[in-house]
Chain A
């Protein structure tokens, strides 16, 4: 409870914040003799507004305790009695004004802090399409989204998650299009979160997803506002988190891993070719090293004769069994990838040269690996980079397939494929079947947007699985 004496209030605030050094408390007196106390956290406040719009009028003109609201220029002033809430709001960047003799405090919103400028996100680069990306400030992110969907049906709902972090989390949806069951489920799961800190949207993802131990993730994330806008206009729900530019979007379908936003801005035939290429690279990345091992060890009759002879010749000097060879190459590949991420930019060039040399020529010539192995593993790696969305699962799947191929040839690969396929197709993301439109088959979805991209004027309906009603998206302009 706020007391009338500002000295008591000052003591209480300082004790609540454990005398931290970035809490500033300032007692002053107006020209008419009224004592006031302002408290704020350093770095959250815009100094100029504090001086000009708050301190100046108060110091110059405060005669009457009741009339503070007529002197301060700020669009949002709240009055607060309870100390816990004042402490809470101070942490969120508000300014607290205590007046001697009043039993309440005024909370003024004048925050501004340093933020990153809007730039193209590193992980989702496009050639054609908007190049803005989200930043860490949730207010700016919301504005970026609203600039794309300028409809009054775009709704945000706020949550605060984490007891210590008290992170601001908002869900966004378009009313009238969104799937009400999914929305209800999202609200329910978010309200069940009871953890001490949320640091990134990845933590939220793990806490609310359906099968945390599954192979593929059932929640997608995006860093660009046009991607998020396209997805929530199909009936999905977006979850913004303060402090991270990655926005979560639920529910997710498996085929979304094969789609990029650029597909919809370039010509449909070329986009279909790219989609096809990505589907192919999914299979190549998972199965190619395994098939290579299985053919070498168990099914030599499938290899054309001339290739077999040169492969046998290449293997003459190599000491390691085939499975171990491929494993060494994959470990070397992962080392290169990881070190490439963590390096300071100045040594980046050296690493790529060293890596290429070590993994390439020198290893082959020293007789540790055969040339064919290097080629196969490199192709699998290049294929993995075309689909960054599913890349996390690919690496694990690839290793499992290699082990199975080494022990049971094509039988092992088939078993691995069956188990992965059954697992993926029985996943459900917030009640929506993960394998749609492939497994609960929907011809409309398969033809229009899975392995090929139909022209925009042909996509008349939204994906049926994401909606309860309201399927039609457009009236095509090119009616015959």
Chain B
């Protein structure tokens, strides 16, 4: 079993599409911005504001990654902070990856159980999902990114096709009156909240050394942010103006309900079609996080990363079944909202800021590397 991590060369398009789909799927699934923030019909403003906040908050990571563009996040953590602190940071990020993985898998399995298969036990769906993700992790970044390059345009195209089909039911007057029911402060809080939720910047800085053209990093970051948030905005707006702002808040998975209202003549079941597309995006996301958690483990223990794929998968399967078989996930996600926020803030803002400051002081020593 060769280690496929070393010889991989990725192009701009591949990484761009990968990051876009990682962000799109979260926004698509349960639209946290609708439930958590206080914007009623101004949710689109929240999303557009979050572009700015995202660029601001992710600045330390991008800056560091630009300076060390031949190393991924864990490697330059080692370089800047020294061996001991670097190992602690690596362990921290491993746990972040694993937690993110569990969160996504539980939501994935919950949607499947609710929307498609009410009687199937949890372990069946989970095991099938992890078999696929383990297989993709074996194939490494090459397999994942090539698959993404082929399939992500289909995902995006399919989703927008579904939006187009529902044009008859659109009623843009739902979005008026602007800015009257929520204050500007509320909107800003909501925007900051949203920009923490997308933790996919970590994946981007782990992929950096594999890019063929290192200068693309900034372009990828800004382009993926703008594109993905624009797409999520269009989807949320479409859902809100078809279903009504209030009903969207009542629904667990708003876009799914939106797809249930569209029809072509006699054919009605577009939610199953949408689920097929959505499964592909979600599997890509879970595989990406699984793969990078094994890379992080590889760095800690210096063994080949493919050794870790099956044990980590089995642990995650057991944990998922443990959590899912006891409680439905969305109330938990609501309860753990604070913990998720804090962890994201630490992982994306605080730790990189500390590294940035240390880098600033040690710049002269590190200039030779």
Give chain A nearest CB distance to B271 CB in angstroms: 8
Return B23 CB to nearest CB of chain A, in Å: 20
Contact A440 B146 (CB under 8 A): yes
* Chain B neighbourhood of A299, CB < 8 A: 269, 272
Query: Are A408 and B128 in contact, CB atoms less than 8 angstroms apart?
Result: yes
Q: Is A413 an interface residue (CB 8 A)?
A: yes
What's the minimum C-beta distance from A43 to chain B, rounded to whole angstroms? 51
B80 at the interface (CB under 8 A from A): no
Q: Can you list 27 A-B pairs, Cβ within 8 angstroms, ordered by A?
A: A298-B116, A298-B117, A301-B272, A303-B269, A304-B267, A408-B128, A410-B273, A410-B276, A411-B125, A413-B276, A414-B280, A415-B131, A415-B279, A418-B132, A418-B136, A418-B280, A421-B151, A422-B135, A422-B136, A422-B147, A425-B143, A425-B146, A425-B147, A425-B150, A426-B146, A440-B11, A440-B149
User: Chain B residues with Cβ under 8 A from A415's Cβ?
Assistant: 128-129, 131-132, 279, 283
Cβ of B139 within 8 Å of any chain A Cβ, yes or no, is yes
A441 within 8 A of B: yes
Check B183 for interface membership: any CB of A closer than 8 A.
Answer: no
Smallest Cβ distance from B143 to chain A, in angstroms?
Answer: 4
- 6 additional contacts (CB under 8 A) given A433-B146, A439-B149: A301-B268, A302-B272, A304-B266, A411-B125, A412-B128, A425-B143
Chain A residues, CB < 8 A from B37: none
A419 at the B interface (CB under 8 A) = yes
* A-B CB pair tally, cutoff 8 Å: 96
Residue of A302, A422, A433 near B139 (CB, 8 A) is A422
A301: which of B125, B144, B265, B269 is its contact (CB, 8 Å)?
B269
Identify the closest chain B residue to A304 (Cβ).
B266
Q: Are A411 and B117 in contact (CB under 8 A)?
A: yes
Chain A CB within 8 A of B333 CB = no
Q: Is A305 on the interface with B (CB-CB < 8 A)?
A: yes
CB distance from A66 to the nearest CB of B (A): 62
A-B CB proximity, top 9 nearest:
A302-B269, A439-B146, A304-B266, A426-B143, A301-B269, A425-B146, A414-B279, A299-B272, A426-B139
Chain B nearest CB, measured from A88 CB (Å): 41
**Residue numbers in A under 8 Å from B142 (CB-CB):** 426
Residues of A within 8 A of B (CB): 298-299, 301-306, 408-415, 417-419, 421-423, 425-426, 433, 435, 438-441
| B213 part of interface (Cβ distance < 8 Å) | no
A49 to B272 Cα, complex, angstroms: 77
User: Does B13 belong to the interface (CB within 8 Å)?
Assistant: yes
Residues of B14-69 whose CB lies within 8 A of A: none
Q: Which B231-288 residues sit within 8 Å CB-CB of chain A?
A: 265-270, 272-273, 275-276, 279-280, 283
Asked whether B150 lies within 8 Å of A435 as measured between CB atoms, the reply is yes
